[in-house]
A and B are shown apart, each in its own frame.
Chain A
């Protein structure tokens, strides 16, 4: 396939203030050149010898092959070469400038926060944090980083949080949704305590290889099932955090769910309220109705946004959860990218628009 011509970025409608994009995915042009310098030689040798093993059978790639290469927009490869979103200049041109983004939260993926070799995971995550500041946030103030951590090792996470949380470069702590144990499990609580103490939300991005089948009925067959199931995993993780009392225990904790969709939240809140009312004996540590806890502590990023034929229905669903809960995200450069001009093609009030595209994010991340 020979793609000769590259389209000019479409001009954006003028927006007075730039938008906040709560999920973008810069990549290293090469691990060797950009990330390995921050890793001890012994771990470089280890990776060269054994690879980076996760709870999945393949040495690279996934057991559910994606719909397009690297799950990326086919037009996102930088002209100078390298993987999508590995060139800052092209990232600016195709995304930040083209869409008037003045705050973009980068969430590094494919780095193995849950590598089986925990010492390796700690070393790689530490390096990725250095890489974010060195190659991205220090060069482009519109880009903010996420502190990535080997989240099966809470002590190491707390160290990373203490090391980076005070820097302007980072706006959140990053975890992946498919953890080995549900996120309300108390082994993760020290992470949440450190995040809350430092005023940073925990951003939970869909994906990860926790070693559990993506459904309670085992492994599905097709890629579309794996993708769909992220919405369900996110519902399960919110259920876990609420019912296991995380927010009662850590009242300053903020949770941002990234890339799981949004429209399922009202139904989940209603269900959790009903079950909670009937099981007060078991859930005596949960002091308030789950919907109230969620409305105070949980935000969802919008992408991949649900698209009913009648978009007004999505607006109604957002009303049920509250407009202040939703943060715009593009997921650039991935294939299910949502263009800010087209993501929500309905009439919004100025307040809704400002909140969705900017204000809610600044609040969630504690920025001004």
Chain B
């Protein structure tokens, strides 16, 4: 890891002091680490029923994207935190890291059990991570199975300002604009919590509109298309007419698809406006006001000119939030920001936009 700590290499990573990294992944706890944080009934059930590790197939622990080869190590929280400090916080100089815990508790069908796991997991995050390094913040993990139980969890944790947003998986029971989810959005808006919509699935449906895939690679690629359909849903259902101050942070979504997506969406809206009349302005204006996108993965060629053009197509420097997606393998070395971003864009995505997005930072 010496190269990472070398000040010369570190200069090359273009992270400016105080940068906020808006999508970072702590190790998921093994069941035995989680046990002390589970309520009595659930911990008895875990033992008595032999409930296994709730690892989502979406991020197989040994798959290349799940963890970069040189960032691997023992999975317990203490070791994982130490690695994160070495690589990301001290190593690359990230000032604040927002942790998205990806243990797959949302996949359970039993909503009460999902909620009990969510409470345990959030308490685990607070004690084992947030208490240990004050550069860390976290997203509340929600029992997405039940919007009512999500609201309970938001209310339970709202007082802990280190939870700066709530997290939902991009593929749920219904597209996320659906009214069934509005209680969550109401509670989040009330507490000034953005909704992080993160890659991943509750595995209620095939991951694409054309059926179940054969390979992990296809499923990972499917995230981007599901972020696209999720934007359509949030807009068409009128979520931002209902909750105008709600912020949505698309996390690990990719964003180079956004301009082409909006050219199509704006066009359809123009001809079908009267079918969803509460969408009373161009979709791209709603995106500009209510959506933010985390930087990594950058699905673009390593070509400065293309990236500059893409940014022109995006049309504003305000949409992106800096992220490394650590320890997911999205880049090599410390090249977390591709060539082609201006200094002003860097400042915006690392400092200004996070501050404007997260009222709790």
Point out residues on A near B: beta carbons under 8 Å. 67, 177-185, 210, 212-225, 227-229, 231-233, 235-237, 239-240, 243-244, 261, 263-264, 266-268, 270-276, 278-279, 281-283, 304, 306-308, 313-314, 316-317, 320, 335-336
Closest chain A residue, CB of each to CB of B233: A220
Closest chain B residue, CB of each to CB of A273: B301
**Chain B: number of interface residues, binned into ranges:** 35 or more
5 inter-chain pairs at a CB distance below 8 angstroms, sorted by A residue, are A216-B222, A217-B229, A221-B236, A228-B268, A270-B256
**In the bound complex, what is the Cα–Cα distance between A117 and B37 (angstroms)?**
53
Given A217-B174, A243-B217, A263-B264; 19 other pairs, CB 8 A cutoff: A182-B210, A182-B213, A217-B230, A217-B233, A218-B173, A220-B229, A236-B218, A237-B208, A239-B222, A243-B214, A266-B260, A267-B254, A267-B300, A271-B257, A274-B299, A275-B217, A278-B65, A283-B215, A316-B313
> Chain B contacts of A272 at CB under 8 A?
221
> Chain B contacts of A225 at CB under 8 A?
175, 229, 232-233, 236
Is there an interface contact between A233 and B64, defined as CB atoms closer than 8 Å?
no
Is there an interface contact between B268 and A215, defined as CB atoms closer than 8 Å?
no
A-contacting residues, B175-196, CB 8 Å: 175-178
Is there an interface contact between B225 and A218, defined as CB atoms closer than 8 Å?
no
- Smallest Cβ distance from A311 to chain B, in angstroms? 10
- Smallest Cβ distance from B116 to chain A, in angstroms? 24
Interface: B341 (CB within 8 A) = no
Is there an interface contact between B263 and A220, defined as CB atoms closer than 8 Å?
no
Closest chain B residue, CB of each to CB of A278: B64
Is there an interface contact between A307 and B263, defined as CB atoms closer than 8 Å?
yes
Is there an interface contact between B260 and A217, defined as CB atoms closer than 8 Å?
no
Q: Which of A215, A217, A283, A335 contacts B217 (CB 8 A)?
A: A283
Is there an interface contact between B225 and A220, defined as CB atoms closer than 8 Å?
no
9 nearest A-B pairs in the assembled complex, by CB-CB distance: A263-B260, A236-B208, A306-B263, A232-B225, A271-B299, A215-B229, A216-B171, A233-B209, A214-B209
Is there an interface contact between B217 and A279, defined as CB atoms closer than 8 Å?
yes
> Chain B contacts of A307 at CB under 8 A?
263, 266-267
> A222-B236, A264-B260, A282-B215 are contacts. A212–B275 as well, Cβ < 8 Å?
no
- Smallest Cβ distance from A353 to chain B, in angstroms? 21
**In the bound complex, what is the Cα–Cα distance between A183 and B209 (angstroms)?**
11
**In the bound complex, what is the Cα–Cα distance between A185 and B226 (angstroms)?**
20
Closest chain A residue, CB of each to CB of B170: A217
Is there an interface contact between A213 and B209, defined as CB atoms closer than 8 Å?
yes
Interface: B353 (CB within 8 A) = no
Interface: B201 (CB within 8 A) = yes
**In the bound complex, what is the Cα–Cα distance between A243 and B266 (angstroms)?**
31
- Smallest Cβ distance from B250 to chain A, in angstroms? 14
**In the bound complex, what is the Cα–Cα distance between A229 and B268 (angstroms)?**
12
Is there an interface contact between B263 and A228, defined as CB atoms closer than 8 Å?
no
**In the bound complex, what is the Cα–Cα distance between A118 and B260 (angstroms)?**
38
Q: Which of B172, B229, B268, B313 contacts A313 (CB 8 A)?
A: B313
- Smallest Cβ distance from A232 to chain B, in angstroms? 4
**In the bound complex, what is the Cα–Cα distance between A240 and B234 (angstroms)?**
27
A-contacting residues, B312-340, CB 8 Å: 312-313, 329
> Chain A contacts of B109 at CB under 8 A?
none
Is there an interface contact between B229 and A236, defined as CB atoms closer than 8 Å?
no
- Smallest Cβ distance from B340 to chain A, in angstroms? 13
